[in-house]
Structure 1
Amino acid sequence: MLKLCFFICLIYWVKSDEEQKCPEFTDLNIGNALSGTELHVQLLLYTRENQDCSERLTEHNITASEYLNTTKKTVFVIHGFRPTGSPPAWLGDMKRLLLSVEDINLIIVDWNRGATTVNYRTAVENCRKVAEILKNYVDQMLVGGASLDSMHMIGVSLGAHIAGFVGQKYDGKLGRITGLDPAGPLFTGEPPEHRLDPTDAQFVDVIHSDIDVLGFKKPLGTIDFYPNGGMDQPGCPKTFFSGVRFFKCDHQRAVFLFLSSLKSKCDIITYPCDSYLDYKRGKCVDCDAFKPMSCPVLGYHADRWKNLLIPYSSPTKAYFDTSGQDPFCMYNYILDITTWNKITRRGFIKIKITDYAGNTVESQMNSEASTFQQYKRVKILTGFHRDIENIAKISLTYSTKTLLGPKHKLRILQMKLKSLNNPKRPQLCRYDFVLMENTELTFKPIPCSERGT
């Protein structure tokens, strides 16, 4: 009798332990990718009440969920192609940061079985099947009192198109879709109904970080962000010798830029513009042109800007530069110069700024030469990796990058330096000075208002 009781208790203990075990994202390997996987989708729910232990949602009995609160906002995170089968490296940070920013239902859409394959086309074909399964879950949530307005789908690569397919099924009534470098191969050139499209949700924001290889080049959203022009992200390898990181670094940068927006270390400010070249030439950096608008910010809080899109062309493209490391922020300035050389000069201007404590930051020299003509204003966009609030000194260096021939002078009638990240800071000016080629000139600026400009 004692043995029987012990046996029953042991069975109960094992069963109880299995029931309490936290469902986890499917972990596969390259062997699974080589043999291929049959599509299987599971939805893992996290909330602030169970942020360390997911609850697996049941497709036809959503209302039985212990933690799902249909009165709250629901965010779905949908991964993409998994050629090695391992869980996405960014998944843990995405979960932790989203729950820290807002009290939401966070649903991780795990379709690793179906995405893990060496045959990319097979994964693409599974995208519509995943969208159909997601619709069944969403339908159940709607019956339970949820609203489409409060749903936000964040899709990575193929996941962005899956989100688009779900949005199509609801005639674009989903609240928001965020596409993180939507996949380009087998989607480029396809009509809107076969990919993510601006009409798939009430607000569609897209970050394009690898438009020349794995990502989608053309606009897909209400607003499309192109960091560093959309390709060749700083800090990413430039040669094949770096191995697999060479292929995925640019593509994944969209994810890490989005994660950065959840950390509140700095806002990544972007600039609506027709092209990256126009942005680099300083033609699109005055967001006050449509007062009382401000420049859109990248990432999770981009939707704060959605009601201010009317003055801009549709779709809106926004460009910006980043540093190569988290939090990726650049502190941008416009250097506005009027020259009085009689002979037109072409060249580059490098700028350093120093605060009263002696801290100095140096800009990157522009990749394109500026043309300086008599009495013509030239705007040069420049950026720094650190913010200098109280500028004590400015250092300028003019260069033509030529090794032969005479050294030239650049005669400056007026120079203005304006912070774009902090437009309320006073513009700084300097008047009537000469830059000798390849010779740094350091001076103390004055607020432009003291001269009445």
Structure 2
Amino acid sequence: MPPRCLLGLLGLLVLCTGQEERRTQESCDNFTDLDLSHCLMGTSLYVRLLLYTRDNIDCGRELQHQRLSEQPLLDLRRPTAFVIHGYRPTGAPPIWIDHIVQLLAEQQDLNVIVVDWNRGAANFNYFTAVTYTREAAQNLTGFLLTMQEEGASLSSVHLIGVSLGAHLAGFVGARLKGRIGRITGLDPAGPMFTSATPEERLDPSDAMFVDVLHTDMDSFGLRGAHGHVDFYANGGADQPGCPKTIFAGKSYFVCDHQRSVFLYLCALNRTCTLTGYPCPSYSHFLDGRCLQCEAFKPASCPVLGYDLGPWRDALLRLGQTKVFFSTTATPPYKKLSYRVDMATWNQYLRWGVVYIRLHSGRNSTEARVDQKLLRFEQYTSTRLLAQFDEDLQNIQKISLRIGTGNIIGPRYKIRLLRIRFTPLDDPGRPLLCRFDIIMEENMEVSFRPLPCNSRD
């Protein structure tokens, strides 16, 4: 074959391959992408259901509401997870949609269905979007009833709702008399739902199991407890690393609220192990009063994420349970946590806060326990929770300081008969102890920790 013909054949092959790739891309059904003009003019509700499976994880397929068993890729014998977004004030697709689809498909062989109600959620008027949640719920309920008629089990359905989408999921569950297997609410929306009755918002009766994550209760999120288990990250309000002033622009308004999604993504990715401790309040948790999990034995405390199976029965038995945890500002979000028990024998009563620094080689990390003043005197046992931003292995040295605020007058001595560090969340770490430490208030003392005996 002459070279010119060969080149022509290769060019035709490349052209045909490119056309095939474009046809493949064009056949994908993507999330509705709107712009600010749509929001300003207002959008009418239109619900689309985009299916993803392990066979088409990068290419969504829009589902019709009829003859589901005839639609390719949808296997009604598989469990199904629905992802439901919330209010979209700019009309743009959520930046996390593709990521959560990928991670859910990694958990098990699922039908992952994105509920795209962007036409409806994208409205400059938030109250209009709230109104549309009822209509969108009616649409999704009809689809689920069709699934059930064609052989699917409602108990194998998991609705994951973000913000306003959490209440939409609750409305679906209520319409189906709580027969949905599970609803996960990621920081359910607060505005227009603060004074709502259980019938007007997400609540535990909407599914066989309801778990909720709170990150912005003092602004766009909803206060209170609304699931069988409610996880409160950093108390459920202000999140570390989020702006504290309005000068940060959009991030000031959305950072805390969006953190619920990023914490959940991190948990799905198994790079975060975020353990929640049952407790009446975050302040009690920080005081170290709620670091036991006997109610969940042989399992440990509940861990945020997709698989809550080890704790489900206990949580259903306990009723509505609040669990608290703290995070860092960035992934993997987990703090290194120790329960610290101290026995003091100083002559004079002192009040103060505790600073603890852990050293491993040249690296160190500090915890400041200052949510309240601690009492140090003779025969006093003090328990506190020390949380560190960096996860250091092989702790070689510990530095301790008790700050009393005394800047004039004599420095009083404080004697620790014993200090014991019990690792939380990681039973493989050794317990660390030290005995009979003499220190001055406001002065740092360093020591090498010793392994604790079982009788210590």
TM range (shorter): over 0.9
Structure 1 partner of 2:355: 350
Q: 1:369 aligns with which of 346, 353, 373?
A: 373
After TM superposition, list the pairs within 5 Å mapping 1:116-131 onto structure 2: 116-131=122-137
Matched, 1:286 2:279: no
Q: Structure 1's 258 and 18: CA in aligned 2 closer, same or farther, altered over 3 A?
A: closer
Structure 1 partner of 2:254: 248
Aligned to 1:96, the other structure's residue is in SS state helix
2:304 and 2:51 map into 1 onto residues whose CA distance is 26
Once the two structures are TM-superposed, the CA of residue 445 in structure 1 deviates from its matched residue by 1.4
Once the two structures are TM-superposed, the CA of residue 376 in structure 1 deviates from its matched residue by 2.0
Once the two structures are TM-superposed, the CA of residue 411 in structure 1 deviates from its matched residue by 1.5
Structure 1 partner of 2:441: 437
Matched, 1:394 2:398: yes
Matched, 1:330 2:342: no
Structure 2 partner of 1:448: 452
Q: Structure 1's 160 and 278: CA in aligned 2 closer, same or farther, altered over 3 A?
A: same
Q: Structure 1's 25 and 344: CA in aligned 2 closer, same or farther, altered over 3 A?
A: same
Q: Which moved more, 1:268-277 or 1:394-403?
A: 394-403
1:360 and 1:95 map into 2 onto residues whose CA distance is 38
Aligned to 1:429, the other structure's residue is in SS state strand
Q: 1:384 aligns with which of 382, 388, 394?
A: 388
Structure 1 partner of 2:303: 297
After TM superposition, list the pairs within 5 Å mapping 1:226-265 onto structure 2: 226-265=232-271
Aligned to 2:39, the other structure's residue is in SS state helix
Q: 2:166 aligns with which of 160, 166, 184?
A: 160
1:416 and 1:282 map into 2 onto residues whose CA distance is 14
Q: Output one character per residue of 1:65-106: Cα deviation in whole Å (capped at 9) or x when no partner.
A: 100111111000000011111111111211121112222100
TM-score, normalising length from structure 2? 0.92
Q: Output one character per residue of 1:239-271: Cα deviation in whole Å (capped at 9) or x when no partner.
A: 000001100000011111000001112311110
Q: Structure 1's 74 and 115: CA in aligned 2 closer, same or farther, altered over 3 A?
A: same
Q: Output one character per residue of 1:106-155: Cα deviation in whole Å (capped at 9) or x when no partner.
A: 00000000001111111011001000000111111112211011100000
1:75 and 1:235 map into 2 onto residues whose CA distance is 31
Aligned to 2:138, the other structure's residue is in SS state helix
1:335 and 1:150 map into 2 onto residues whose CA distance is 43
Q: 1:421 aligns with which of 422, 425, 428?
A: 425
2:170 and 2:295 map into 1 onto residues whose CA distance is 33
Indicate conservation of the 8 Å contact 2:348/2:412, yes or no: no
Q: 1:169 aligns with which of 156, 175, 182?
A: 175
Q: Which moved more, 1:246-255 or 1:295-304?
A: 295-304
Gaps of 5+ in 1: 1-12
1:101 and 1:366 map into 2 onto residues whose CA distance is 39
Indicate conservation of the 8 Å contact 2:171/2:206, yes or no: yes
Indicate conservation of the 8 Å contact 1:205/1:302, yes or no: no
2:89 and 2:40 map into 1 onto residues whose CA distance is 9
Structure 1 partner of 2:14: none
Once the two structures are TM-superposed, the CA of residue 286 in structure 1 deviates from its matched residue by 1.5
Identity of aligned residues (%): 46
2:115 and 2:317 map into 1 onto residues whose CA distance is 36
Aligned to 2:371, the other structure's residue is in SS state coil
Structure 2 partner of 1:182: 188
Indicate conservation of the 8 Å contact 2:369/2:385, yes or no: no
Indicate conservation of the 8 Å contact 2:52/2:113, yes or no: yes
1:47 and 1:289 map into 2 onto residues whose CA distance is 37
Once the two structures are TM-superposed, the CA of residue 216 in structure 1 deviates from its matched residue by 0.5
Q: Structure 1's 273 and 366: CA in aligned 2 closer, same or farther, altered over 3 A?
A: same
TM-score, normalising length from structure 1? 0.92
Q: Structure 1's 392 and 370: CA in aligned 2 closer, same or farther, altered over 3 A?
A: same
Aligned to 1:82, the other structure's residue is in SS state coil
Aligned to 2:396, the other structure's residue is in SS state strand
Q: Structure 1's 18 and 104: CA in aligned 2 closer, same or farther, altered over 3 A?
A: closer
2:224 and 2:273 map into 1 onto residues whose CA distance is 25
Once the two structures are TM-superposed, the CA of residue 290 in structure 1 deviates from its matched residue by 5.3
Matched, 1:219 2:229: no
Q: Structure 1's 138 and 64: CA in aligned 2 closer, same or farther, altered over 3 A?
A: same
Indicate conservation of the 8 Å contact 2:69/2:76, yes or no: no
Structure 2 partner of 1:71: 77
Q: Output one character per residue of 1:27-86: Cα deviation in whole Å (capped at 9) or x when no partner.
A: 111111111000000000000000111110001232231001111110000000111111
Structure 2 partner of 1:321: 326
Aligned to 1:267, the other structure's residue is in SS state coil
After TM superposition, list the pairs within 5 Å mapping 1:35-184 onto structure 2: 35-184=41-190
2:353 and 2:54 map into 1 onto residues whose CA distance is 52
Q: Which moved more, 1:365-374 or 1:74-83?
A: 365-374
Indicate conservation of the 8 Å contact 2:354/2:368, yes or no: no
1:438 and 1:19 map into 2 onto residues whose CA distance is 65
Q: Which moved more, 1:298-307 or 1:167-176?
A: 298-307
